[in-house]
């Protein structure tokens, strides 16, 4: 009786869709922030339609803070490009500028709140003021978290742990910072349109 030889057919492993776990967590976090602000802006529109709504002009400092945030986003992109090209001096400067402008943005938001109080727009009272403070406050909280992420990236940059072959940290940082910029632009336009 002839023995039958069995041959194993080896298959190439199928490519799986894989994502860096830290980037995946970031994207989940961004989606949760989007859902938070979507629910808040929906509540704003519903409450506004009910009436008893105080209309007020947004203080000009919010326009200036928007420009500051846009410049900080450009500096963050400069930091990312510098890291890709291993331009360490430029990377450190760009991240430092981004961090400093983030602090300036927060200070300007606080000054904007003081101007709102001077206009008799308070957190407690008419819902239009309450929503304004909640939107800007929640965004400010996320800017603070973005500054913490920036601080870690800044430290890593000064220790030469961010470079062309190790971009994950700066990619996460840039994605989050640009997201916060886009989120602020959305809120800014929303508040200008529906205030």
- Residue-wise pLDDT for 47-78, tens only, equals 999 988 888 999 999 999 999 999 999 999 99
What backbone torsions phi and psi does residue 148 show, to the nearest 5 degrees? -65, -45
Q: Cα–Cα distance between 84 and 190 in angstroms, integer?
A: 35
168 within 8 A of 22, measured Cβ to Cβ: yes
Per-residue pLDDT, averaged over 160-169, amounts to 88
Residue 152 has pLDDT above 80, yes or no: yes
181 within 8 A of 69, measured Cβ to Cβ: yes
Q: Cα–Cα distance between 91 and 81 in angstroms, integer?
A: 8
Name the nearest CA neighbour of 95 among 157, 3, 183, 4. 157
Q: Cα–Cα distance between 97 and 150 in angstroms, integer?
A: 11
What backbone torsions phi and psi does residue 94 show, to the nearest 5 degrees? -65, -45
Q: Cα–Cα distance between 144 and 150 in angstroms, integer?
A: 10
90 within 8 A of 82, measured Cβ to Cβ: yes
The class that CATH gives domain 62-194 is mainly alpha
Sorted by sequence, the CB contacts under 8 Å of residue 102 that are 6+ apart come out as 72, 143, 146, 147, 150, 177
74-111 confidence digits (pLDDT tens)? 999 999 999 999 999 999 999 999 999 999 999 999 99
Beta bridge partners of 163: 166
Beta strand spans in the chain (E): none
Q: Cα–Cα distance between 99 and 9 in angstroms, integer?
A: 56
Reported confidence tier of residue 45, pLDDT bands at 50, 70, 90 = very high
83 within 8 A of 157, measured Cβ to Cβ: yes
Terminal Cα-to-Cα distance of the chain (whole angstroms): 91
Q: What is the pLDDT of residue 99?
A: 97
User: Domain limits of the chain?
Assistant: 62-194
């Amino acid at each position: 009786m002839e023995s039958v030889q069995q041959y194993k057919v080896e298959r190439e492993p199928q490519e799986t869709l894989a994502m860096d776990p830290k980037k995946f967590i970031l994207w989940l976090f961004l989606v949760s922030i989007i859902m938070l602000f979507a629910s808040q802006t929906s509540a704003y529109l519903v409450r506004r339609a009910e009436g008893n709504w105080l209309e007020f002009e947004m203080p000009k400092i919010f326009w200036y803070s928007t420009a500051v945030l846009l410049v900080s986003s450009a500096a963050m992109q400069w930091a990312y490009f510098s890291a890709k090209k291993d331009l360490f001096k430029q990377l450190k400067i760009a991240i430092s500028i981004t961090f400093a402008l983030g602090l300036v943005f927060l200070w300007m938001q606080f000054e904007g709140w003081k101007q709102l109080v001077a206009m008799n727009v308070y957190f407690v009272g008419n819902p239009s003021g309450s929503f304004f403070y909640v939107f800007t406050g929640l965004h400010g909280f996320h800017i603070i978290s973005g500054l913490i992420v920036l601080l870690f990236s800044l430290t890593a940059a000064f220790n030469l742990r961010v470079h062309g072959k190790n971009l994950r940290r700066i990619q996460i940082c840039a994605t989050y910072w640009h997201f916060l910029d886009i989120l602020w632009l959305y809120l800014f336009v929303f508040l200008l349109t529906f205030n």
